[in-house]
Amino acid sequence: MLGPYRSPRRFTYTRRQVWSAYSKAIEAAGYVPKPEFVAVITAHGALETGHFQAGCWENNAGNVKPGTTWNGPYTCITLNEDLPGRGLVWFSPEGELVGGRGSALKCPPRPVPPGHPQTQMRSYDTLAEGVADKIRFLQKPSYTLAMAYAQRGDASGYVRAIRKNNYFTGYRDQPDPCQYELSVISIAKTYLELGLVVEAEQDLSPVCVEHFGTCEAERFDVDIIGAELRAQVAILNQQHIDDIVDDARRSRS
């Protein structure tokens, strides 16, 4: 039974906020949050939500629908589904549309809530909650193979595995690799780059200590140490990050 209805709210997040949320959720679920793994799962979420900008409704990190067991809050949004034998069909919370987004209703409007079942989506208070539930959803036995691919950083294998389980309905008539798969692969590469930088930034302290015998550059007080010294530390830190990222790229090639 569905929980309380919430009017749809759209949230936006930076790439670093998204990376942090996914990395923490993956680790909390018992996995090792390797950059390759986090990049694939995050890229999938980015594709589903308009890069956590245009389509991140109610902190739902993967457009996860309520299903038959969800008893938490939910919302309804306008969307399309690729239905067998019918192709692409648009729905608004009030019902099926005769054409695309903004067209007339095909039948008398449904009350909202509860809205048309095709448009119902789970709702969360925070991005962390939405991402954690997305990871739990992917831990179902039917997605075991997909998660195995993701842990290896194989975005192609991951998408093909979730496609077989009808996670997404679009591109039904496209052979592998479909555009959905190509998009996740491309986005995963950008998130992997971010992940390598985040890893490198976590190793800044030794650089500061080695050269200046003090704490991380970001904690320096400019009034005490001077802008010139701070600038020197910033340059060294960036060089250090670049070196670590380059080494990581070579080890993964």
Residues 237-252 pLDDT 10s: 666 667 666 776 777 6
Residue position matching structure tokens 């942090």:
20
Query: For residue 237, is it left (φ>0), alpha (ψ between -120 and 50) or beta?
Result: alpha
Averaged pLDDT for residues 44-48: 95
For position 16, what pLDDT does the model report? 94
User: What value does the CA radius of gyration of the chain take, rounded to a whole number of Å?
Assistant: 22
Residue position matching structure tokens 């009034």:
223
Average pLDDT, the chain: 86
> How confident is residue 235, by pLDDT bands cut at 50, 70 and 90?
low
Q: Which residue has the higher pLDDT, 219 or 128?
A: 128
> How far is 144 from 132, CA to CA, in rounded Å?
17
Strands (E), 23-174: 74-76, 79-83, 87-92, 95-96, 120-122
DSSP H helix total and E strand total for the chain: 10, 5
For 89-98, 135-144, 171-180, 205-214, which range has the lowest pLDDT when averaged over its residues? 205-214
Question: 183: which residues sit within 8 A by CB, 6+ positions away?
Answer: 47
For 4-18, 28-42, 98-112, 225-239, which range has the lowest pLDDT when averaged over its residues? 225-239
146-201 pLDDT, tens digit each: 999 999 999 999 999 999 998 887 787 788 889 999 999 999 999 999 998 888 77
For position 253, what pLDDT does the model report? 66
What is the percent of the chain with per-residue pLDDT over 90, rounded to a whole number?
65
For 8-12, 83-87, 126-130, 231-235, which range has the lowest pLDDT when averaged over its residues? 231-235
Cβ neighbours of 19 (radius 10 Å): 21
> How far is 116 from 163, CA to CA, in rounded Å?
24
Q: Which of 91, 87, 119, 86 is closest to 105 using CA atoms? A: 91
pLDDT over threshold 70, residue 21:
yes
For position 104, what pLDDT does the model report? 98
Contact between 96 and 44 (Cβ < 8 Å): no
pLDDT over threshold 80, residue 138:
yes
What is the percent of the chain with per-residue pLDDT over 70, rounded to a whole number?
81
For position 33, what pLDDT does the model report? 96
Q: Which of 6, 19, 15 is closest to 131 using CA atoms? A: 19
Question: What token pair was written down for 105?
Answer: 């209703």
Largest Cα span, the chain: 72
